């Protein structure tokens, strides 16, 4: 009967009982120690204690409270009332959708591309997107029961507008916002989602209040420097108004695997303790201004390890302003191309953009870049006559432009300078068009074939002609498929991306590869110290995007 009753206890009661049991266990341990100490003292030191004359001892007194406080305390007192605890509930749902396994694309970034989701990201960096329950940092009950989770947030408008993380409120059926002065037994104010942006993991929630609410002051994240002191305030493990201190450890930190899913995420790194429940809370500078939204940690234990990440306030402000607009969504510009991030210097030298530029991997049909005549392997070098540094620079510039506007792009084609006026489309539209154009399947392109094969010692790979059915599926006119890669070879040690079994090589140093014989001819001409750049179609990729993999022969 007791077990049955316990299963029907409320979430609050179960948490309370857990805390009480923990407290009692601690007190019980201490009691044993005191009793043992008393016995030992009475038998060994009792006579000696009786001989001590304490008439000359001065009693201790509680001093008058000091009116001075340090800067940390001042900031905590000033900002604390505007920091909230967010509790969410997710009702049981019976899903009929089949489970699928997502496939990543090696090194694939892009000005537009598959948004995907953040599940794998948060599994690695914050114990799961929404924990096991789907929203916030999870404290859920048994399987099939109502899920409950928690996070943090902060008020930026006295009318009740609150900034938090998207993963805190994602998939929530009910949202409750508890203010700093609310009773611990209250659920809090009912929250309503105004809008979310999955690309930056930012959400805006609104609560109703009969009186103006305390707010935080937003700061400029660009002004912060490495080593500056910062404070984090939030509700780790359901402990409201927890304040931790640290410094800015790094800026512009990318912690995902690259690609479109994380290209808008550049974090402030801090060693201020951030734990599950801190998600969505503010990271503050020494002026008491919010310079980041605490979003993720890198941990192997599930707790803080001194490596936390916050979305910069400048990014948060831009996203917030779009989410409170009449559309309640973030609108980003796009021209409809994909590019590969993290390329080796050899790629830049072969394609002539060692000092900056973006090498196009794919152009989405029907989108502005295609209409303007841009092609794969063109190198974008400028935007409205301003040099383009890299892919991040291109994305930041284009995404900030409004759909319907135009931009003048300078680019290189075969080493010759060209330019074109390119329209700006809605990024959402270009993503849908790209996903609609994806083709091919997951068949293994390394199937045994009777075609001629070749093994080249200087690269450490074996290749053979691509099967005809694979050429048709991937819309290729030729190439060779890698059938084996020697461990520790040049091909395996390429950085940041190595060649892999199943990859299809369609070009080497801008020369087309038709079959094993043409590949042999190109490779035989290479010598030690030469740059080697492969244009590769990943064998298992479901789209037709090329990767550029290169290095310098030892």
What is the rounded CA–CA span in Å between residue 280 and residue 275?
11
Helix (H) or strand (E) holding 193: strand 189-197
DSSP assignment letter at 108 = B
Under-50 pLDDT residues of the chain: 1, 4, 7-8, 10-12, 14-42, 96-108, 112-134, 139-143, 259, 261, 439-453
**Nearest alpha carbon to residue 379 among 417, 336, 346, 408:** 417
Locus of tokens 């490779």: 523
Alpha-carbon distance of 14 to 9, in angstroms, equals 6
| Residues pairing with 283 in the sheet | 232, 292
pTM of the model: 0.71
Instruction: Report helix, strand or coil for 76.
Output: helix
Helices (H) and strands (E) in the chain, counts: 14, 29
Q: Which residues pair with 407 in a beta bridge?
A: 422
Q: How many CA atoms lie within 13 A of 297 on its CB side?
A: 24
- At residue 437, the pLDDT reads 55
Closest of 289, 294, 241, 254 to residue 270, by C-alpha: 294
For residues 369 and 335, what is the distance between their CA atoms, to the nearest angstrom?
5
> CB within 8 A of 441, min separation 6: which ones?
473, 542
Q: Give the C-alpha distances (Å, rounded to integers) separating 57 from 41, 46, 53.
A: 21, 20, 9
Catalytically annotated residue among 137, 138, 152, 167: 167
Confirm if 217 and 225 have CB atoms less than 8 A apart: no
CA distances (Å), origin 543, targets 203, 229, 251, 428, 546: 31, 46, 33, 18, 9
Tokens of 161: 């507008």
**3-class SS of residue 177:** strand
What pLDDT does residue 49 have? Answer: 59
The answer to whether 167 is a known catalytic residue is yes
pLDDT digits (tens, 9 = 90+) for 202-248: 999 999 999 999 999 999 999 999 999 999 999 998 889 999 999 99
What is the CATH number assigned to the segment(s) 11-24+70-92+106-330? 2.40.10.120
The conformation of residue 354, written as its DSSP 8-state character, comes to T
Question: Which one of 170, 201, 503, 543 is the catalytic residue?
Answer: 201
Domain 453-552: which topology? Pdz3 Domain (2.30.42)
Identify the residue whose tokens are 């809605």: 426
Nearest Cα to Cα of residue 409 among 510, 318, 331, 337: 337
State how far the Cα of 514 lies from the Cα of 507, in Å rounded to an integer. 9
Q: How far apart are CA 83 and CA 214, in angstroms?
A: 9
Please give the pLDDT value at position 156.
98
CA distance linking residue 427 with residue 425, whole number of Å? 6
Q: What are phi and psi of 550, to 5 degrees?
A: -155, 170
Tokens 């959402």: give the residue. Answer: 428
Strands (DSSP E) found in 437-546: 453-456, 461-465, 480-485, 504-508, 511-512, 531-537
Does the annotation mark 279 as catalytic? Answer: yes
Looking at residue 321, its pLDDT comes to: 97
Instruction: Of 2, 149, 147, 13, give the one whose Cα is nearest residue 85.
Output: 149
| Six token digits for residue 135 | 């929203």
Q: 129, 167 in Cβ contact below 8 A?
A: yes
Q: Is residue 473 helix, strand or coil?
A: helix
Strands (E), 198-288: 202-207, 217-218, 229-234, 242-253, 267-270, 282-284
Domains 333-437 and 453-552 are alike in CATH topology: yes
Domain boundaries, the chain: 11-24+70-92+106-330, 333-437, 453-552
Give me the pLDDT at residue 527, please: 92
Known catalytic membership, residue 189? no
| pLDDT for 179 | 95
CA distances from 295 to 17, 121, 200 (A): 30, 11, 10
* Catalytic option among 112, 221, 235, 279: 279
Instruction: Tell me the C-alpha distance between 399 and 434, whole Å.
Output: 17
CATH of domain 333-437: 2.30.42.10
Q: Is-contact 459 488, C-beta < 8 A?
A: no
């Amino acid at each position: 009967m007791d077990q049955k009753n316990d299963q029907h206890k409320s979430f609050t009661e179960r948490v309370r009982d857990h805390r009480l049991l923990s407290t009692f266990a601690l007190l019980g341990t201490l009691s044993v120690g005191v009793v043992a100490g008393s016995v030992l003292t009475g038998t060994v030191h009792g006579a000696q204690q009786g001989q001590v004359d304490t008439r000359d001892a001065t009693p201790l007194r509680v001093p008058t409270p000091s009116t001075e406080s340090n800067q940390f305390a001042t900031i905590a007192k000033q900002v604390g009332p505007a920091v909230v605890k967010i509790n969410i509930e997710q009702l049981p749902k019976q899903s009929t959708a089949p489970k699928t396994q997502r496939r990543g694309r090696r090194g694939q970034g892009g000005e537009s591309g598959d948004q995907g989701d953040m599940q794998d990201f948060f599994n690695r960096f914050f114990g799961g997107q929404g924990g096991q329950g789907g929203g916030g940092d999870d404290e859920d009950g048994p399987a099939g029961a109502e899920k409950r989770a928690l996070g943090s947030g902060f008020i930026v408008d006295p009318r009740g507008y609150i900034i938090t993380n998207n993963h805190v409120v994602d998939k929530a059926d009910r949202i409750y916002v508890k203010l700093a002065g609310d009773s611990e037994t209250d659920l809090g104010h009912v929250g309503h989602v105004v809008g979310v942006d999955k690309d930056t993991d930012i959400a805006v929630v609104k609560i109703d209040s009969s009186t103006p609410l305390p707010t935080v002051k937003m700061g400029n994240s660009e002004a912060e420097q490495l080593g500056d002191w910062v404070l984090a305030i939030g509700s780790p493990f359901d402990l409201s108004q927890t304040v931790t201190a640290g410094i800015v450890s790094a800026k512009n930190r990318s912690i995902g695997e690259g690609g479109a899913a994380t290209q808008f995420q550049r974090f402030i790194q801090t060693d201020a303790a951030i734990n599950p429940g801190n998600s969505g809370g503010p990271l503050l500078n020494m002026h008491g201004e919010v310079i980041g939204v605490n979003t993720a940690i890198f941990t192997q234990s599930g707790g803080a390890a001194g490596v936390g990440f916050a979305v910069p306030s400048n990014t948060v402000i831009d996203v917030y302003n779009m989410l409170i607009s009449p559309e309640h969504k973030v609108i980003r510009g796009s021209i409809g191309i994909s590019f590969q991030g993290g390329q080796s210097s050899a790629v830049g030298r072969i394609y002539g953009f060692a000092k900056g530029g973006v090498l196009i991997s794919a152009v989405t049909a029907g989108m502005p870049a295609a209409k303007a005549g841009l092609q794969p392997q063109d190198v974008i070098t400028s935007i409205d006559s301003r040099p383009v540094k890299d892919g991040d620079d291109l994305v930041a510039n284009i995404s900030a432009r409004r759909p319907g506007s135009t931009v003048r792009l300078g680019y290189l084609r075969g080493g010759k300078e060209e330019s074109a006026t390119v329209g700006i489309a809605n990024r959402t539209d270009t993503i849908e068009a790209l996903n609609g154009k994806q083709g091919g399947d997951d068949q293994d392109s390394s199937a045994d074939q009777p075609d001629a094969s070749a093994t080249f010692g200087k690269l450490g790979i074996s290749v053979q002609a691509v099967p005809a059915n694979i050429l048709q599926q991937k819309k290729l006119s030729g190439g060779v498929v890698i059938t084996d890669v020697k461990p520790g070879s040049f091909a395996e040690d390429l950085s940041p991306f190595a060649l892999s079994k199943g990859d299809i090589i369609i070009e080497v140093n801008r020369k087309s590869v038709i079959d094993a014989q043409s590949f042999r001819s190109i490779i035989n001409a290479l010598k030690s110290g030469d740059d080697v750049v492969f244009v590769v179609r990943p064998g298992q990729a479901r789209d037709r995007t090329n990767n550029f993999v290169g290095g310098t022969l030892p």
